[in-house]
Amino acid sequence: MRVVFMGTPDFAVPCLEKLVECSHEVVGVFTQPDKPVGRKRIITPPEVKVCAIKHDINVYQPEKMRDGTAFEIIKELNPELIVVVAYGKILPKEILEFPKYGCINIHGSLLPKLRGAAPIQWSVINGDEYAGVTSMMMNEGLDTGDMILKREVKIDFNETSGELYDRLSLIGAEVLEETLVQIEKETISLIPQNDDESTYAPLLSKELSEIDWNDTALNVHNKIRGLNPWPVALTFIDGVKYKIYTAEYIENVNGNPGEIVDNNKKIVVCCGDGNGISIKTIQPEGKKQMDITAFLSGNKLEKGKIIG
C-alpha cells in the first residue's frame, strides 16, 4: 500500500519501522517541526524524522495542518492510507477523507478509556491494573473513531510510565501490522466506541508534580511511577526541592502525613492512610539523580521530621 506516516516521538518509531519492514511504500512522513531541547536549547529533530531520513523517506514538517498547504502535499503524495501515531496535530476533514482506506490511529490506551494526549502516564497515575493499545479509524473527534483492534497488557506494580511507554510502543507496531493485514484483505470489523465509558488523559504539566503526603500511600506511589520520566514527582525538605523518581510502597508504617518514620539506610515517609513510601531514587535541586544509599552517605534526615 502507498502510505503516509504521521508521528513525532520515539513512541511512534517502531510503527514506522514496521511499515518499512512489511514492504509498504511509505511515500512521505509528516512530523512536528524541529524544536529546541535541553538547557542549551539545541535545535533537535523529532525521533520520527531521524528514522525517516535513515530510510530515505521524504519528511514534511508543516507548522499548521489547516492552512491548505498540508492538504496539497497529501494530494500530491496520493496515499491509499494515512497512519497516525502520536503526531500531536489535529487533521482537518479533507485530509481524513482523502485516502482510499482513510486514516488509522494507533493509540496508547484501551479505548474509550483515556482519550487524549497522555494515556500511558494517566493509566499509571490512576493505578489501573491494565493498559493497552487500540487501532482505530480516525474521525474529526478526539480519539473517538471506530475501533479495529485492541491489545491489553497488565501493568506491573512498580512499573513507571516510561517503562510502560516503551513496552506499548513495540506492541503498537504489532497492532499496526495486524490492522494493515485486515485492511488489505478487507476483513476489518469496526467497533463503535461507547462514549458513556470514555475518560480523558490530558497533557501532563509540572503543576501536577508536588506530592501531597496527606494522600494515600498507594496514590503517592502511583503518582511517582506515573510522572517518571517527566515531569517527575517532587517534595520539599527545608524549602529545598527534591525530585523523587522511584519509590516502594510499604504498608502500616504509622506516623503523621509527611513524617520520616525510618531513616536507617533508607527514607520511609508516612502518608495519610498510615501506609508509607520508601524513597529509592532522589534528586536534590541542582544536583544529579542518585539512589537513596548514595544520598544518605552525604545527607542526614532526622527521624520524625515532617517533609513537604
Q: What is the mean pLDDT of residues 6-35?
A: 97
pLDDT at residue 128, as a whole number: 98
**Domain regions of the chain by residue span:** 2-197, 206-298
Q: What is the mean pLDDT of residues 117-140?
A: 98
| pLDDT tens digits, one per residue of 202-255 | 999 999 999 999 999 999 999 999 999 999 999 999 999 999 999 999 999 989
pLDDT for residue 137 is more than 90 = yes
Query: DSSP string covering the chain, please?
Result: -EEEEEE-SGGGHHHHHHHHHTT-EEEEEE-PPPEEETTTTEEE--HHHHHHHHTT--EE--S-SSSSHHHHHHHHH--SEEEEES--SPPPHHHHTSSTT-EEEEESSSTTTTBSS-HHHHHHHTT-SEEEEEEEE--SSSS-SPEEEEEEEEPPTT--HHHHHHHHHHHHHHHHHHHHHHHHHT----B---GGG--B-PPP-GGG-B--TTS-HHHHHHHHHHTTTTT-EEEEETTEEEEEEEEEEES---S-TTBEEE-SSSEEEE-TTS-EEEEEEEEETTS--EEHHHHHHH----TT-B--
Q: What is the mean pLDDT of residues 107-123?
A: 98
| pLDDT tens digits, one per residue of 254-299 | 899 999 999 999 999 999 999 999 999 999 999 999 999 999 999 9
**Sequence-distant (≥ 6) Cβ neighbours of residue 302 within 8 angstroms:** 260, 263
| pLDDT tens digits, one per residue of 138-168 | 999 999 999 999 999 999 999 999 999 999 9
Q: What is the mean pLDDT of residues 13-32?
A: 97
Give the Cα separation of 257 and 271 in Å (integer): 5
| pLDDT tens digits, one per residue of 34-72 | 999 988 899 999 999 999 999 999 999 999 999 999 999
From residue 250, alpha-carbon distances to 207, 216, 279 in Å are: 26, 11, 10
pLDDT at residue 39, as a whole number: 84
For 2-197, the fitting CATH number among 3.40.50.170, 3.30.43.10, 1.10.357.10, 3.20.20.70 is: 3.40.50.170
| pLDDT tens digits, one per residue of 96-110 | 999 999 999 999 999
CATH topology of domain 206-298: Methionyl-tRNA Fmet Formyltransferase; Chain A, domain 2 (3.10.25)
